[in-house]
Amino acid sequence: MADADEEVLQNPANASVQPEVDLSDETQDFRFLNNLNIYADSGSLPRRGEKDFEPNPTEHQTGVLSESRRAMHNALSFPRLHSKKAHVIAFYAPDGYTPLAEIPPPKAPQQTDKSTESAEKPARPTPRSANINPDVCVYVPNPKGPFFKSVGQSDRWNRLWLLPEEALYLIERGSLDIRWPSPTDPAIPGEDGLSIPMSLQAAWASFIGHGGLTLERYSVYSGLKRLGYTLARAPGWCDEAEQREHEQNLAPSPSYNQNIIPKLRGAGLAGILGSLFNWIHDPYSTASTTSGPMIGTGINRHYMDVYRKLAIIPWYDPITASPSNPSDTTAPFRVVFHVWKPSTPVKKSAPPTPEFRVAVLSTRDQTTMPNMTQLGALLESTPLDPPSGEKMERMMYMRLRHGYRNVILAVVDQGVVSYLRVADSAFGKEKLYENQGGPRGPKRGGRGYQKSKKR
């Protein structure tokens, strides 16, 4: 099944902790949970049942319904425990990253030889190791298991620091046991049972809103994570406040000046020769863009010439446009997550180029679609990704659909996430009239499903 969770496939042991089956946006027939052998690690995955759309008076349907409900409750009532083997304890550090003192006695003045400014540690500390995100708030002293392959950042004491969304995802999943910091001594948390475990409710209360993590961002994070994607924060995550100020006195994006009227292009010797021949071909042109007709009343030699004369509307060229710097983007329209497919190996220390870039926005804060400036700035903050490959070269439609830059908007409407892929396509770069002839033959020749397509 294509929509099965990969983690279950890979780690049947973990599947036994909490079965994860992709639930798409349909109402579920929960009877499939009966087929899922929770206790033994079976390799097979459950199948979904068929759907009835209307209630009918048959007992069969009622039976199916109640059975489904029972199965759901069954699955929900399964005790979710931390198994001895996979039990990972983490500690909540509300102050963010704190380097471990070299010498265990906590109350003693910090006399680490390396750090000089560690004295003002209790106040929000600036992370000394530049690679630790200042928003981290949970650390795992002894990370083990498959979940920490792609999340967290290690410090030099082999503690793994987790961002709030990572910690919340793991605790929600039942894979992490987070402890409150010990009230007596925040630096050295008690190792065995000295501090209290954090409840799920407390985790939500502490982590949502911490370090720019909004509910919308978390739903996107957890949703994609559950599907097996690897996510990492993108640079657009933070400093919203100062960017907004910057935005106010920002002149309109300069890239629009870069537009070239396509008519004026064509350089070099070929261009000169071409214009010469054009002159020979059309010596007494009556073409007038002032009051038409633009193609003139004279004799036109070829439809190409006609089309060339018609081109007066400037269009945006994504290649020549200068890449705007990320600060041009307006607050919600900003890449927040870098996403990799489940099959892509992602090394935490050296992540490859992201496969998707996701911007998260809430329809309750941003009630309207972005305007051109906002959307353009968002796209220009992503690298150029022109259509390439043999297939794209052949197929114009694919090129147009792929575009030159692309970004994914995650539009969260009260918890419901709709993803939209926005691509910057330049129709002006594909002169259709040059390869006129297009689709050959009658229209039923093409793709199989074309029949159902409406004209």
List the interface residues with other proteins, window 74-133 (CB under 8 A). Answer: none
Stretch that binds other proteins, among 112-120, 130-138, 208-216, 336-344 (CB under 8 A): 336-344
CA dihedral (117, 118, 119, 121) positive or negative? positive
Report residue 252 as tokens: 């309109």
Site for other proteins in 196-235 (CB under 8 A): 223-224, 227-229
**CA–CA separation, 332 vs 190, rounded Å?**
41
Is residue 244 involved in binding other proteins (CB under 8 A)? no
Contacts 24+ apart (CB under 8 A), 256-259: 256/316, 258/317, 258/320, 258/321, 258/322, 259/314, 259/315, 259/316, 259/317, 259/321
Shortest spacing between CB 305 and other proteins, in angstroms: 8
Is residue 310 involved in binding other proteins (CB under 8 A)? yes
Report residue 227 as tokens: 């599907």
Residue type, 155: D
Stretch that binds other proteins, among 52-60, 133-141, 327-335, 380-388 (CB under 8 A): 52-60
Instruction: Write each residue from 260 to 279 as x if it is in contact with other proteins (CB under 8 A), else as -, in one continuous string.
Output: -x---------------x--
* Count of residues that bind other proteins according to CB under 8 A: 117
Stretch that binds other proteins, among 93-101, 153-161, 181-189, 422-430 (CB under 8 A): 422-430
Provide the β-strand partners of residue 232: 338
Stretch that binds other proteins, among 82-90, 145-153, 194-202, 301-309 (CB under 8 A): 301-309
Is residue 394 involved in binding other proteins (CB under 8 A)? no
Report residue 430 as tokens: 């594909």
**CA–CA separation, 94 vs 177, rounded Å?**
16
The half-sphere exposure of 452 on its side-chain side, counting CA atoms within 13 A, is 2
Stretch that binds other proteins, among 53-61, 73-81, 90-98, 141-149 (CB under 8 A): 53-61
Work out which of 18, 38, 48, 75 binds other proteins, going by CB under 8 A.
Answer: 48
Q: Minimal CA–CA distance to 227: which of 43, 16, 22? A: 22
Q: Minimal CA–CA distance to 319: which of 435, 436, 430? A: 430
Instruction: Output 143 or 403, the one with its CB closest to other proteins.
Output: 403
Is residue 365 involved in binding other proteins (CB under 8 A)? no
Is residue 245 involved in binding other proteins (CB under 8 A)? no
Is residue 27 involved in binding other proteins (CB under 8 A)? no
Site for other proteins in 153-192 (CB under 8 A): none
**CA–CA separation, 127 vs 98, rounded Å?**
7
Shortest spacing between CB 162 and other proteins, in angstroms: 23
Work out which of 44, 53, 108, 267 binds other proteins, going by CB under 8 A.
Answer: 53
Instruction: Output 47 or 244, the one with its CB closest to other proteins.
Output: 47
Site for other proteins in 371-390 (CB under 8 A): 371-373, 375-376, 379
**Residue 296 falls in which region: left (phi positive, over 0), alpha (psi -120 to 50) or beta:** left
Instruction: Write each residue from 130 to 159 as x if it is in contact with other proteins (CB under 8 A), else as -, in one continuous string.
Output: ------------------------------
Q: Minimal CA–CA distance to 274: which of 212, 159, 282? A: 282
**CA–CA separation, 140 vs 189, rounded Å?**
12
